[in-house]
Amino acid sequence: MPDQSPRQPAIALTWLGLLLALWPILIVHLAYLISIEQGSVPACNPYWDGCTSISRAGRYGWANHVFRGALMPYTALLAAAWWVSQRWLKALGDRGSTGMLAFGWLGALFMILYLTFLGTEGATYELMRRYGINVYFGGTYVAQVLLLRRLLAVGRTRPGALPPWLLPATSLAALGVLASGAAFLVVKYVLARDMDRPEDALEWVVALLMQLFLLAIVLGWRDSRMRLWLDAAPGGTGEAESR
């Protein structure tokens, strides 16, 4: 007997995904401009000069309200994106990656911790902020690498299943993060330079590269015609299809 359970229309994920990839970039830069206007941080090209960290750009006054208020709900979207990516991999015929899910959700959880204590004072709160942001970056990067690993496997086993630009784009973003970190370690430990400004610049560069990775993934959803259905039956789960 055919399944009579109602099925909701397919959700095209492109616009939601673009919000996922570009929203943090917009909010961080908006908070930075507000902080400059408030006189909280100096004006510069933070990707090169490293005159301020991302945290300082969103720590004071109205910048803090914009930064935390806009990025806190983003963490739920980020967590959902890892679930969608898992469904995408399976729709492509891959087994998926539970490690990607675990590290991606860990990163989203610790971003909440970071945002909760951003703008607070005291050594304990500073420790929580640092712990939160470091685990966010680390967990999210590991999740991205694990996703890339599965996409490379799809590329080997199912030629033509992925848009031809996707693997080069995501590989470049992931390698860019790795190369930036390696350059930072060389300057810090081999050349023994003062690292405050380079570390802040590195933070901006790495954050941008990680968002560009997500942007490539979102465009990959679009070009592989990824669609998501939500089963309206009791206990129903989401289904994905990639054509």
Residue 119 clears pLDDT 90, i.e. is over it: no
Mean per-residue pLDDT over the chain, rounded? 85
Q: Cα(118)–Cα(128) distance, rounded to whole angstroms? A: 9
Percent of the chain with pLDDT over 90: 60
Percent of the chain with pLDDT over 70: 84
SS3 assignment for the chain: CCCCCCECCCEECHHHHHHHHHHHHHHHHHHHHHHHHHCCCCCCCCCCCCCCCHHHHCCCHHHHHHHHHHHHHHHHHHHHHHHHHHHHHHHCCCCCCHHHHHHHHHHHHHHHHHHHHCCCCCHHHHHHHHHHHHHHHHHHHHHHHHHHHHHHHHHHHCCCCCCCCHHHHHHHHHHHHHHHHHHHHHHHHHCCCCCHHHHHHHHHHHHHHHHHHHHHHHHHHHHCCCEEEEECCCCCCEEEECC
Among 191-195, 219-223, 231-235, the minimum mean pLDDT is found in 231-235
Residue 150 clears pLDDT 50, i.e. is over it: yes
Task: Give the mean pLDDT of 175-189.
Answer: 81
Residue 193 clears pLDDT 60, i.e. is over it: no
The confidence score (pLDDT) of residue 28 equals 96
pLDDT band at 191 (very low <50, low <70, confident <90, very high): low
Task: Give the mean pLDDT of 199-227.
Answer: 89
Residue 18 clears pLDDT 70, i.e. is over it: yes
The confidence score (pLDDT) of residue 131 equals 85
The confidence score (pLDDT) of residue 109 equals 96
pLDDT, one tens digit per residue, over 28-56 is 999 999 999 999 999 999 998 889 999 99
Residue 213 clears pLDDT 90, i.e. is over it: yes
The confidence score (pLDDT) of residue 242 equals 58
pLDDT, one tens digit per residue, over 92-109 is 999 999 999 999 999 999
pLDDT band at 239 (very low <50, low <70, confident <90, very high): low
Residue 178 clears pLDDT 60, i.e. is over it: yes
Among 62-71, 76-85, 111-120, the minimum mean pLDDT is found in 111-120
